[in-house]
Structure 1
Amino acid sequence: MDLLQLRYFRAVARFEHISRAAEELHVAQPSVSRTIARLEAELGTDLFDRQGRRIRLNQYGALFLRHVERALSELDDARRAVADARERGLGRVTVTAETLLTLARALGSFRATHPAADVRLYQSNAVEMERRLRAREVDFCVASQPLTGAGLECVELAREEVLLAVPYGHRLAGRRSIRVAELAHESFVVSRPGNWPRALLDRLFAAEGLTPQISCQADEPGASGELIGAGLGIGLVPAISRQEGIRAPVTWVRIDAPDCHRVLTLVWHRDAHLSEAARAFRTFITSTPFMTHRFPPARQAQP
């Protein structure tokens, strides 16, 4: 049994598809198939159930995967520890968030304080965040949805109300507040499933026994304000965007619903190796009010 077999197995287990795993690994499909076959022969049991061209991880494969993930994570941590010891300065910190706009000013403040730190950024939805943490691909997630898997630790960074943004001239533009049931026939601009605005919208509507009408889906949650201002629909936008003075021509309406807010948390894996830069980032980001990094003084957009 060697590392190549373990990495190939992990990729096939993740996708439950030989061709997709081969693409991820940048190798030929037959090579992946032969490697998995050798591994199963060495273990004396099948790790996947096969039905024609489809494969599914079986109970032995799931058991083996848990140990493989742990072993490969330890090896990745060891590699990073050696690299950190070899590098000059603070080393590297890797961070992911659903929208990088959330991190821009906070990371700018951090780099101004720690110029020797090597900062790397990624954009991920909640599912991908948890996978990246477990695979040790990132040190931290700045999450707008709960990440509650085993071994994960988190601290709340900020809590903010979520408002309804509507374009100028919309029938709701003069309202101060509105109930979710009144929005049943409105068209919404929202991010794709997996991102926090879509999760919140679905939850608010489900509580009323309704399903939202979607007119526009975007991969970048931070683009919603501009799309709403262009008249493509209405949408959920964090209240802090109002204070930031968003440039899009929108007005704001409070939503009369419980728990209509976003909670930002910093999440990391308890057992992961953290470089000096990563430890400095965690201390920095949790010791200063998060929103004070990100936004200038409040100002209201004008029609």
Structure 2
Amino acid sequence: MELSQLRYFTAVAQFGNMSKAAEAMFVSQPNLSTSISRLEEEVGVPLFERRRGKITLNQSGACFLSYVEQALSSLEKGVQEVRNRNGVQSDALTIACMTDCSILLQQFLAENPDIILKQQRGDLPSVTQMLEQQEINLALTVLEPPGEDLAFERLYECEFVLLISPEHPLSAYEKIDRRQLQGEHLAIDGSQVNRFTFCTAEGKFGQTPIIDYDVRHLDLLLSLVAANRCISPLPLVNYKELRLLGKDQGVVYRPYEGGSPTAYFGIAYHKRHPPTAPGKQFRDFVQSYFQNIDRKYEALFQETTDN
């Protein structure tokens, strides 16, 4: 059983498609298929179900995958341990973020002090360019970069909500209809909401948003909302994060009536350079970070309700 076979196996399991997996691993599809077939022969049972061009793990494959991932993770840790013992310094993990992720990054560094992190900020075009030119290892984005050589893993999603001052008349409603927003002054976080896309989407509901502020920092956005100068659409998880940290400045949120836009968070990377061990640590941390926010906020909400 070869290491390359195991890596090919995890790639096919991830993409659910031989062609995409072969492209990601920079191997021909016939060679990849042959490698998977030989692996199944060595294991002694089929690991995938093949139906109409799709390939998915069966029960045996899902069981085997968990052990393969553990083995590959242990191998990477072993390599890192040997490097550490011999004074070989790890390369820095370079990332670019489309959003204001300062709180997330601070916690990641606190939990992973051995990782050297270099971070940049950028919009989607600049992040895409950095990835294509391989200037960074990973990008934390809310949109999938368009480059053909780039891969995107969606890690978390949530609904957009409307941040609003408790003094605003619309705060009296449990949900806010888009028609109630007609004529209201809005602020958007330009790192998460594309102005043109947002206006186009709202136009389908017959609305013409009035966007007075396009900012790139949550503190400023919250200050504007808290001062009752505007209303702001924001991913719910960002509000929960600030609420848990006591940085919400007293603003409240209201869901959309009749359907909310969805915010997606994920990591992107160049297909020739899939995440290294530190990159995988960052990927796993991001996913668990958002999930923990949901759990902690639910516990806080339950505690408040009980009291």
Short-chain TM bin: 0.5 to 0.7
Match of 2:169 among 167, 171, 190: 171
Q: Please give the TM-score of this superposition, normalised by the length of structure 1.
A: 0.60
Q: CA deviation at 1:268?
A: 0.6
In 2: Cα distance, 1:185 partner to 1:207 partner: 17
Q: Please give the TM-score of this superposition, normalised by the length of structure 2.
A: 0.60
Tell me if structure 2 keeps the 8 A contact 1:126–1:195: no
1:121 corresponds to which letter in structure 2? Answer: Q
Tell me if structure 1 keeps the 8 A contact 2:160–2:260: no
Unaligned runs of 5+ in 2: 1-82
Tell me if structure 2 keeps the 8 A contact 1:152–1:269: yes
In 1: Cα distance, 2:173 partner to 2:201 partner: 19
Match of 1:213 among 210, 214, 219: 210
Q: Alpha carbon RMSD of aligned pairs, Å? A: 3.1
Q: Which residue is equivalent to 1:229?
A: 226
Q: Which residue is equivalent to 1:270?
A: 271
Identity among equivalent pairs (%): 15
Q: CA deviation at 1:166?
A: 1.2
Q: Which residue is equivalent to 2:288?
A: 289
Tell me if structure 2 keeps the 8 A contact 1:187–1:214: yes
Match of 1:201 among 198, 203, 207: 198
Equivalent pairs counted in the alignment come to 213
Tell me if structure 2 keeps the 8 A contact 1:90–1:277: no
Tell me if structure 1 keeps the 8 A contact 2:167–2:228: no
Aligned-partner SS, 1:173: helix
Q: CA deviation at 1:168?
A: 2.0
Aligned-partner SS, 1:205: helix
Q: How does 1:128-207 map to 2 (within 5 A)?
A: 128-192=126-190, 195-196=192-193, 198=195, 201-207=198-204
Q: Are residues 195 and 240 of structure 1, via their aligned partners in 2, closer, same or farther at CA, if it must alter by over 3 Å? A: closer
Q: CA deviation at 1:248?
A: 1.8
Q: Which residue is equivalent to 2:248?
A: 247
Tell me if structure 1 keeps the 8 A contact 2:100–2:216: no
Q: Are residues 108 and 218 of structure 1, via their aligned partners in 2, closer, same or farther at CA, if it must alter by over 3 Å? A: closer
2:290 corresponds to which letter in structure 1? Answer: M
Unaligned runs of 5+ in 1: 1-83
Aligned-partner SS, 2:171: coil
Q: CA deviation at 1:165?
A: 1.1
In 1: Cα distance, 2:214 partner to 2:87 partner: 42
